[in-house]
Amino acid sequence: MNVFIGMGLVFGCVILGYLMEHGNMSVLYQPAELVIIGGAAVGALVISLPGKLLTLVLRDIKKIFIHKSQTKNDFINLLVLLYDLCSKVRREGILSLENDIEDPQKSEIFRKHKEVIEDQEVMEFLRDNFRVIVMGVQTNDVAEILEIDLESARREALISSQSLARTADALPGLGIVAAVMGVVLTMGKISEPPAVLGASIGAALVGTFLGVLLCYGFVGPMAINLEFKVKQKEVYFNVIKTALQHFENSPVVVIEMARREIPSLERPSFKEFEDIKSKWKTKKE
- pLDDT digit string (tens) for the chain, length 285 residues: 788 899 999 999 999 998 998 888 888 888 889 999 999 999 999 999 888 888 889 888 888 888 777 888 888 888 888 988 888 888 888 888 888 888 888 888 888 877 777 788 888 888 888 888 888 788 788 888 889 989 998 999 899 999 999 999 999 999 999 999 988 888 888 888 888 888 888 888 999 999 999 999 999 999 999 999 999 889 999 999 998 888 878 888 888 899 999 988 888 888 877 777 776 654 554
Cα(221)–Cα(165) distance, integer angstroms: 9
Q: How crowded is residue 151: how many other Cβ atoms within 10 Å of its Cβ?
A: 10
> Distance between the two ends of the chain, CA-based, in angstroms?
40
Closest CA to 211 of 173, 163, 167: 173
Q: How crowded is residue 262: how many other Cβ atoms within 10 Å of its Cβ?
A: 22
Cα(277)–Cα(40) distance, integer angstroms: 55
Residue type for 205, please? L
Could you tell me how far CA 156 lies from the centroid of its own chain?
12
Query: Do residues 91 and 109 lie in contact, with contact meaning Cβ atoms separated by under 8 Å?
Result: no
**The residue count for the chain:** 285
Closest CA to 261 of 281, 275, 246: 246
